Every structure is written in C-alpha cells, then in structure tokens.
Amino acid sequence: MSFSDKHIFFDLDRTLWDFDRNSENALKLIIEAENLRSVFGSFERFHRAYVKNNKRLWGEYGKGKLQKEVLRYERFNTTLKQFGTNDIELAKKMGDAYVEISPRQKILFPNTIPVLQELTKIGFQLHIITNGFVEVQYIKLENCGLRDFFDVIVCSEVVGKNKPAMAIYNYALEKAACPSNDALMIGDDFVADVSGALNAGLQAVLFDPFMESKEHYPHTINDLKEFPEIAVRLLR
C-alpha cells in the first residue's frame, strides 16, 4: 500500500525538540552572563520560579490576554521581582537573550532523526503544527537539521489561534491539501495535540516520553521509535 497520500503533522516542542532541556541550558547561559546567581541564590530557585511564571503567562497569551512582545520580557520581569529586583531593562535584556540563545540549542528527543527518515522512506508527507513563535521555530528546525523533512510548517501566530482551536488544524489541512481522514497528529499535549486533532477529524497519537499522562489514551507512545508502526496502522 502506498502512503504517499497520507500526512503526518508533528508538534515541535517537547515532541521532537527537547524544549525543557534546551530552555534550561539557555537560561543557565543567561544567568551566568548577567552574573545573577547571587540575586536568586541558586539557578534551581530561579528556574522553578521562572517555569511557573512562564507557564502562567503563556496561558494568558494563548487566551489573547497578553501580547507576544510583552510575554517575552514579562516572564523574566515577574521572576526578578519575585526575588526583589525591579529592573525592567534587565528583564528585557534577558528576554532578548533568551529568544536568541534558546532556539539555537540542539537537543532532540531520542530517535528523532531516524524516525523522520523512516517515515519519509515509507512515503508519508510530513508537516509541523506548533504554538511557538514563527521566527523562533524556524531557527530550531534549521539549526537541528529538521527543516528538510517537512513540507508545511504552521505556527499558531500566523493563524491567530493556538492549538487546540479547530482553526489551526483546518488551516494546516488546507495548506497541505489534505483531507482530515488521511492525516495523523502526534504531540505531547493531550488537549492541544490529541483532543484538538480528533475534534478536527484527524487521527492522533500522544507522545508521553516520561510516562506522566493520566489520560489512558490507547494510542500513546513513550519512544519515537514506536511511532512508524502505529502511523502505518492508523493511516492504512
């Protein structure tokens, strides 16, 4: 059976590109460059606070309550204030540095490249749907040698809606010239990637590398090397 008319859409962060490890590396470089360890006591204290603030502010951004430009520095501004430092210029400097340094980190999840090679060899058409910022996500793809695997790359800010909104899936399907019943989405977020895809008529696979999901979703994998077999089965 030919799979040349079948399409697979990947999430990028925390599915192919190891967002948490890459982000942590970038933050360590910024803290050292700005000599801020004494402000926070330890990197670990800063990191715990930053991750919590970043998650909350991303939630506000996803609901349209916060502009991208504000999110970039406010996650640092809020964290600095939490440790007694009120310095908006420093926060903006950290925000700019993060956007520059983070996407140039190169840690991928195990088996990313071999799996993409195998899927391409099978004949699948591969695409990306991501909630990340356009300029940042393209740097990640280029820098890690992933760009050439993908035909259509859809970033949420282009659509004006984040996953799981049906609009972003419909936009991606239209760009790929793909009917939903010939498409499969894989991602690490059950709501954004699995529920969103299923609501738009796609098949969906949950990537749960740390086995933390409580959803008991039947099409769940813990290692990307499991994905080609399940993709063939679901799109046969």
Q: Which CATH number fits domain 20-104: 3.30.310.80, 3.50.50.60, 1.10.150.240, 2.40.40.20?
A: 1.10.150.240
pLDDT digits (tens, 9 = 90+) for 101-152: 999 999 999 999 999 999 999 999 999 999 988 989 999 999 999 999 999 9
The secondary structure of 28-74 as a DSSP string is HHHHHHTT-HHHHSSHHHHHHHHHHHHHHHHHHHHTTSS-HHHHHHH
In the numeric block, the tokens 């007694």 are attached to 84
DSSP character at residue 193: I
Enumerate the CATH 1.10.150.240 domain ranges in the chain, comma separated.
Answer: 20-104
**CA 111 – CA 113 distance, rounded (Å):** 6
* pLDDT-based confidence at residue 1 (cuts at 50, 70, 90): low
- CATH of span 7-18+108-235: 3.40.50.1000
37 contacts 43 by C-beta, under 8 angstroms? yes
**pTM across the whole model:** 0.94
- pLDDT above 90 (res 2): no
What mean pLDDT do residues 4-30 have? 98
Enumerate the CATH 3.40.50.1000 domain ranges in the chain, comma separated.
Answer: 7-18+108-235
DSSP character at residue 222: S
